[in-house]
Amino acid sequence: MNVPLALRPDGLTARHLVVGLLLGMANAAPVGSQAGGASGPPREGFIAAADGAKLYYVIVGTGPDTVFIPLAVYLTAEFAPLLPGRTAVFYDPRGRGRSEPLIDARLGFFKDVGDVEAVRDGLKIGRMSLIGWSYLGAVATTYATLHPKNVVRIVLVGPSAVRSGDNWSDPRRFVTQVDSASLRALESMRGALRTTDDSLAYCRLDLRARTLPRLMADTAAIARMRADPCLLENERPERWRRTLHLAIAGLGTTFDLRPRAAQVHLPVLIVWGDRDPGPEAATREWLTAFPDARLLVVHDAGHLPWLEHGEVVFPAIDEFLRGKWPLAAEAAGRDH
């Protein structure tokens, strides 16, 4: 069964579906101002965006260096190996995770970019490193061009295409080892949803049987996923797909972020799995667009490389955040 997944404004593609993929307003103390390591209870709350949208955040650790990681609903648990020795600020973009559900008119790419600054300013963060997975890599890059003094370094993990065109996904990379029985069960469930429990079960099956397998080199790695986004209404399939679709649509039908990337005079590490549905050529367009970037290719990994080869991904990112290039990361222009 071939299920079209999408993220482009003119129709949705598998790579970007996962990103694409936990009330009160906070008057927070400056992040990273306390002494200590990664221990201590997480601090969480909501920050108001410029238009009043409530954005959920959670702060883990009290180390001197701050790393900013959007998509808390997916990555707070998964990125735990990066926590020792630093302060990690996770947040949910508008309309995602525990952030406020929003109507269509309040969603869009540049609203997501503005929200990065809203959370940083609201939490009184000084300079920070940014990690952007998939579509959020484009958000991180654009933010850095607008607020360069706030950013120390950037990590892009499986970034979405830097420009519009036919470079969003490579169908030859789609994994075909899906569970046909689970897909049949998913279709039969669709018309029989009656209770909250039904919707929860459908969401979990949709994520693990339809969405993630097409993004993985080894589908067995899905079992290592600790996040359970389906517990939140914003992460039900029809809702998060529309939110992400509208965010991407905010870029316009034609766009090119390479001129913006060329303005980022900061170290940038790009992490890409060689079984990611996103074409290698598109990823290398990011590499050559930045003045100071290197590419870490993770072999036998897809769009969630930390699930499949965390032993490669997390030490490399940790080393980069500490100020050193990972040995295996290649600069632009190297033969491949």
Residue 206 domain-assigned (yes or no): no
Could you tell me the pTM of the whole model?
A: 0.85
Say what the pLDDT of residue 298 is.
Answer: 98
Q: Does residue 56 fall inside a structural domain? A: yes
For the chain, the domain total comes to: 1
Q: What pLDDT, on the 0 to 100 scale, is given for residue 177?
A: 56
What are the residues whose beta carbons fall under 8 Å from the beta carbon of 46, sequence distance 6 or more? 23, 24, 25, 26, 54, 55, 56, 57, 99, 100
pLDDT on residue 33: 40
For residue 199, being part of any structural domain is answered with: no
CA distance 333 to 336: 9
Rounded to whole angstroms, the Cα distance separating 56 from 61 reads 17
> Per the domain annotation, does 261 fall within a domain?
yes
pLDDT-flagged residues of the chain (< 70): 1-40, 166-180, 182-183, 186-187, 189-197, 334-336
The pLDDT tens digits of the residues spanning 42-96 come to: 899 999 999 999 999 999 998 999 999 999 999 999 999 999 999 999 999 999 9
Alpha-carbon gap, residue 83 to 37, rounded angstroms: 9
94 domain-assigned: yes
The reported pLDDT for the residue numbered 165 is 81
- To the nearest 10 degrees (0 to 180), the angle between helices 109-122 and 135-146 is 60
Cβ atoms within 10 Å, residue 193: 13
Asked if residue 224 belongs to a domain, the reply is: no
pLDDT of residue 4: 31
Parent domain of 81: 14-170+248-331
Would 3 be classed as within a structural domain?
Answer: no
Lookup: tokens for 178:
């899906």
135: domain CATH number is 3.40.50.1820
Q: How many CA atoms lie within 13 A of 45 on its CB side?
A: 12
Q: Is 205 part of a structural domain of the chain?
A: no
- Token pair 């607008």: residue: 146
Tell me the C-alpha distance between 104 and 51, whole Å. 14
Sequence-ordered list of residues with C-beta below 8 angstroms from that of 90, at least 6 positions apart, any chain: 57, 58, 59, 60, 69, 70, 71, 72, 75, 76, 79
Which one-letter DSSP state was computed for residue 54? E
pLDDT for the residue 192: 64
